[in-house]
Structure 1
Amino acid sequence: MSAFDGPPKPEPDMVALIRHAVAAGVTFLDTCDVYGPHTNELLLCKALQGGVRDKVELATKFGKSFVPFADVKVEIRGDPAYVRAACEGSLRRLGVDSVDLYYQHRVDKRVPIEVTVGELKKLVEEGKIKYIGLSEASASTIRRAHAVHLITAVQLEWSLWSRDVEEEIVPTCRELGIGIVAYSPLGGGFFCSGAKLIDSLSQQDIRKSLPRLQPENLEKNGQIFDRVNAMAIRKGCTPAQLALAWVHHQGTDVCPIPGTTKIENFNNNVGALSVKLAPEEMAELECYAAAADVWGDRYPLMANTWKDSETPPLSSWKDE
């Protein structure tokens, strides 16, 4: 709504969409201080007025800090001072006394995860946040964090064509009783329209840089969409509904968060709840998008993902 996927959308329309979603039964809203930056939290502040706040679980994130006039525009931070300042900033922008779920958006590889979670634990004790989450964290990072304080949710990319988290991260979350929040469950919109997606993206849309949507990969990946679309036709649903239903069928501990800026698309996403998949249909879908058939990584150079989220040992930390 506010950043990355093209230019910001009109605020009144987005407030109306958020309230439409809540009225339709959505109870979980996910934002972040870096969206904008800051403007999405301010948008949510307006949407939460009039009793909406009491109807939802509110989640935001910290960890990505924009650095003006620097070669690397985004710095990942998990030091205690930053954690606290980021939280207090989010509370002000959201206009709330506490947030229900506070994620570390990306893991700071310079700071032991125990130190970051230790500060989050203090924020829980102070009533500023209710639950702690991680995003794009490795299995070992999750375990170390969970030993300091209960981790309630881990946000990760999970969709038909992003399934490597099933090897270690998902089993670790389930062993520890941690909920799973699946972002980009529609493959950044790919499972809505396939290769045609790229034609609808503005020059400001970050998805234009994704390896899987580059010309050398898009034609081959388009064949995955064609197979999913053919099955959707047989099922009497849209390909997006089919792909989203696949994520819903992963278990009651999985909460997908498909983003949208249009009420029509939101209603279509809700329709995925009516799509039922038998085990053999789940297997068929997974066969269509086997890892060997997906061309390109999720992100350029796989920057800032769980694959490199290890942090130093706690014994190395010197509080400055």
Structure 2
Amino acid sequence: MHHRTLGPFQVGAIGLGCMNLSHAYGVPPSPEQAEAVLLRALDLGVTHFDTAALYGFGANETLVGRVLSPYRSRFTLASKCGMTGVDGKRVIDGRPETLKRTCEEALARLHTDVIDLYYLHRWDKQVPVEDSVGALADLVREGKIRAIGLSEVSADTLRRAHAVHPIAALQTEYSLWTRNAEIAALDACRELGVSFVAFSPVGRGFLAAALSSPADVAAFDAKDIRRAMPRFQGDNFVANLRLLEGYKALAAEAGCTPAQLALAWLLAKGGHVLPIPGTTRVAHLEENLAAAEIRLSAGLIEQVETLINQATVAGPRYNAATQTEIDTEEF
């Protein structure tokens, strides 16, 4: 796999988002299946693994630490603080003392002395971002983390944070059907020399053409976070399904799968863009990573962008309550 710059690190162009192995989409895979995915990713040249304290309320960091710590020198390890599980509930807390405590707990779960890239998972709007980043800068000076990242913040907030300490990466949802980063964040990252890490690059499964009818959504696990996302609900989802026939035809024209088309499109959006698809299956992992070798023509890129964009996708990406927790620009 060819490499791209992630802050001070060189990593494979496509990384692995580890969340799915412990969190968010219902019952997680067995420990054996999760271990198989992580080890196969390492075998295939993945050198960028992304986890967080929130995922499984610590379970994902524990999994990554158990499976991958024997190979620690072979990859760049990213995790996140500022959004954790407290008494069974998700809590956003960006106070310096909380971030430092979370880091200590993460280091223990991950079986490592240092986390390469540590993100503020969400900006706690009750705490100046300068204070939260200042705490992370202390962790850099103490040698507990090597670089600082931010997640789901606006270009303006990125600039404020960057003035306190250099920000290595901004992580935000970005895909054909979530284009908010194109308003300002991508340009700000390019201007400041910040890497852009794209999570949910396959549209939470939608751009893999894994869903074909409302019955598929009805079959989601009760704890699947997509149940609360407007794009997967009612008339919005029915409207979005109409995009898939043309999208699958474009993937066939490109000689790849729909998921690979979504990832190849992201890689074509700029050398500072690094997608981190997640999966629970080795076969899907192998399919995703193969997208690094696909090159799309300018004409096909134009066609797919015309088909799927903020004007053609029905519904916002988050419900109103979740939207209040993020800081990204919105169309």
TM-score after normalising by structure 2: 0.89
The counterpart of 2:327, out of the listed 289, 306, 314, is 306
Q: 2:72 aligned with 1:56, yes or no?
A: no
Q: 2:64 aligned with 1:44, yes or no?
A: yes
- C-alpha deviations, 1:187-208, integer Å up to 9, x for none? 0010112542525532221112
SS at match of 2:39: helix
Q: 2:292 aligned with 1:286, yes or no?
A: no
Q: 2:214 aligned with 1:198, yes or no?
A: no
Distance 1:36 1:303 in 2: 22
The counterpart of 1:227, out of the listed 227, 246, 269, is 246
Q: Residue in 2 aligned with 1:34?
A: 54
SS at match of 2:46: coil
Aligned residues: 305
Alignment of 1:258-273 (within 5 A): 258-273=277-292
Checking the alignment, whether the CA contact within 8 Å between 1:194 and 1:226 is kept in structure 2 is: no
SS at match of 1:295: coil
Distance 2:194 2:79 in 1: 17
Distance 1:179 1:99 in 2: 17
* CA apart distance, 1:67: 3.8
Q: 2:158 aligned with 1:142, yes or no?
A: yes
Checking the alignment, whether the CA contact within 8 Å between 2:129 and 2:161 is kept in structure 1 is: yes
- C-alpha deviations, 1:105-162, integer Å up to 9, x for none? 0001011111111111110000000000000011111001000100000000000000
Q: Residue in 1 aligned with 2:37?
A: 17
SS at match of 1:154: strand
* Deviation larger for 195-204 or 248-257: 195-204
Which residue identity is paired with 2:258?
P
Checking the alignment, whether the CA contact within 8 Å between 2:83 and 2:92 is kept in structure 1 is: yes
- C-alpha deviations, 1:40-99, integer Å up to 9, x for none? 00100111143x211100000011133438xxx332111110010011010011010000
Q: Residue in 1 aligned with 2:204?
A: 188
Checking the alignment, whether the CA contact within 8 Å between 2:184 and 2:329 is kept in structure 1 is: no
Distance 2:69 2:186 in 1: 35
The counterpart of 1:276, out of the listed 269, 273, 295, is 295
Distance 1:24 1:68 in 2: 38
Classify 1:267/1:194 alpha carbon distance in 2 versus 1 (closer, same or farther; 3 Å).
closer
Which residue identity is paired with 1:20?
R
- C-alpha deviations, 1:167-201, integer Å up to 9, x for none? 11111111000000000000001011254252553
Distance 1:109 1:48 in 2: 34
Alignment of 1:121-200 (within 5 A): 121-193=137-209, 195-196=211-212, 198=217
Distance 2:150 2:66 in 1: 26
* CA apart distance, 1:274: 2.5
Which residue identity is paired with 1:68?
D
Checking the alignment, whether the CA contact within 8 Å between 2:250 and 2:300 is kept in structure 1 is: no
SS at match of 2:181: helix
* Deviation larger for 118-127 or 227-236: 227-236
Checking the alignment, whether the CA contact within 8 Å between 1:194 and 1:222 is kept in structure 2 is: no
Alignment of 1:54-133 (within 5 A): 54-68=73-87, 73-133=89-149
Cα RMSD for the two superposed structures: 1.6
* CA apart distance, 1:216: 1.4
* CA apart distance, 1:289: 1.1
Checking the alignment, whether the CA contact within 8 Å between 2:93 and 2:124 is kept in structure 1 is: yes
SS at match of 2:56: coil
Checking the alignment, whether the CA contact within 8 Å between 2:69 and 2:112 is kept in structure 1 is: no
The counterpart of 1:5, out of the listed 25, 30, 49, is 25
- C-alpha deviations, 1:211-238, integer Å up to 9, x for none? 1010211111112222210111222211
Checking the alignment, whether the CA contact within 8 Å between 2:202 and 2:259 is kept in structure 1 is: yes
Tell me, which stretches of 5 or more residues in structure 1 are unaligned? 310-320
Tell me, which stretches of 5 or more residues in structure 2 are unaligned? 1-20
* CA apart distance, 1:273: 1.7
